[in-house]
Amino acid sequence: MRVPSLFILSCLSVTLAVFPMAASALCNVTYTAQDGDNLSGVAELHYADSARWSWLAAANPDLSASPDSALAQGSQVFIPCTPPDPSGQTAASPDMPKVNVLSIVDFAPFSSRTWPAQGIMAELITAALGAGPAPLRPVTAWAENAADGVSQLADSRGAEIGFPLPRPDCSADEARDACARLLYSDPVIEIPLVLFVRSGGGVTYQDDSDLAGRHLCRPAAYSMASLDTPDRHWISEKVVNLVTPDRPETCFQMLAGGQVDAVMLNALTGATTIAAMNLSEQVTALDKPLAQHTLHVAVPKVHWRATTLIYRINAGLRALRETGEYDRVVGRHMTLLWDRLN
């Protein structure tokens, strides 16, 4: 994961600001076919994976069922976010026992209702649960944000596994409840926490003293654990002025409007938000990350199969890494993100 995330970072800080925004890949939308389009080309455009023409064929039964035959210009092609209901052509068989997963609704590109395959994490976890021992097929429900996800899991009446979630530092007081109630998987994705600043705005970051007294923005629902560590007391000693609106978009609006000096977000969520808001010319990511974040799957400890679910995911992820499937999935999503930024 380190390679693709650095790749995105360098895109943001060096090259991307130069390119104008182009058509974005989205899902749960209708695409109007252009002259010369065929299903495999449309699948490549929206999923970075021409093999997913079959998703399009299943979602658009009126259109040609072959990947290479030309679509009539102006044809309306519905682009689903999820694979068709398992009916033989996908790896997940309908007989496979199910597991109820809880995913965060609006955390692109990791998990999102409107990102192909519902996000990188969703696709990796689905693949891991299918590749590990005693395979399971996920049935997805949605949480508003990480905190909502943790509380729904802790309640654990319906949701069995939740993601993507940061793993708290269990030695810290505020993490005690989550650590007492949840088991965490190995890291599924490692991602740098970076500072997004106004291009040419003069804010730099070499060490923490550069940020003293600055106004920094981070959405309230995101973990603040990296801001208060044994050698960093930004919140507890009020070293920085922390602004915590509800949404990443608000942070970037405040950054563009000069109300804050920097936005702190993981590189991919930051890049995705910038792309969606058309801010790639005004906003730059700084090269030096504030921290490395890891995203995990969590399972309530009191669940009837808590430890075996964590084992299935860890073993499945190992298998995906060994076969190279992990890199293929991540690469596909990085290509989509790149296309959105260009």
Partner 1 sequence: MCRVLFGFLLAFFVTGISPVSARDCTRTYIVQPGESLSMIAQAQYDDAALWEKIHADNLDVIGEKPDAVRAGMTLRLGCMGDAPSTNTPMPRDAIKVLTASGFAPFSDRDLPNGGLMTELVDAVMTRAAPAGGHTIHWIEDRAAHLDPLLSNALMDMGFPWPRPDCETAPQTPLCRTVLFSDPVFEALVVLFTDASRPLPYSNESDIAGRTLCRPRGFPTDDLDRPDRRWTSDGVIILIQPDSIDDCLLLVLEGQADAMVMDEFSGQSAVRRLNLTGRITALREHPLSIETLHVVVPRAHPQAQQLVDMVNTALHDMRESGTFHDILEAHLMRFWGEG
Sites of contact with partner 1 (CB under 8 A)? 133-134, 156-157, 180, 301-308, 311-312
Shortest spacing between CB 160 and partner 1, in angstroms: 11
- Considering the complex, what minimum distance in angstroms separates the CB of residue 302 from partner 1? 4
- Kindly state the smallest distance separating residue 155's Cβ from partner 1, in Å: 9
**DSSP designation for 189:** E
Taking each helix axis from N to C terminus, what angle separates 248-256 and 267-277, rounded to the nearest 10 degrees?
Answer: 70
Residue corresponding to tokens 């992820």: 317
Least CB distance from residue 154 to partner 1, whole Å? 10
Residue 281: closest CA among 19, 5, 4: 19
| Max Cα–Cα distance, the chain, nearest Å | 64
- Count of other CB atoms within 10 angstroms of residue 75: 17
Q: Which is nearer to partner 1, 125 or 216 (CB)?
A: 125
Residue number, 186 or 228, with CB nearest to partner 1: 186
What are the DSSP E strand ranges found in 39-170? 76-79, 98-104, 106-107, 111-112, 137-143, 161-166
Q: 22 vs 134, which CB is nearer to partner 1?
A: 134
To partner 1, the closest distance from the beta carbon of 336 in angstroms equals: 34
DSSP label of 91: S
Cβ distance to partner 1 smaller for residue 181 or 332: 181
- Picking from 192, 209, 221, the residue whose alpha carbon sits closest to that of residue 286 is 192
We find the least distance from the C-beta atom of residue 305 to partner 1, in angstroms, to be 4
Q: Which is nearer to partner 1, 14 or 302 (CB)?
A: 302
Q: Report in angstroms the alpha-carbon separations of 209 from 6, 45, 205.
A: 24, 44, 8
Q: Which is nearer to partner 1, 85 or 95 (CB)?
A: 95
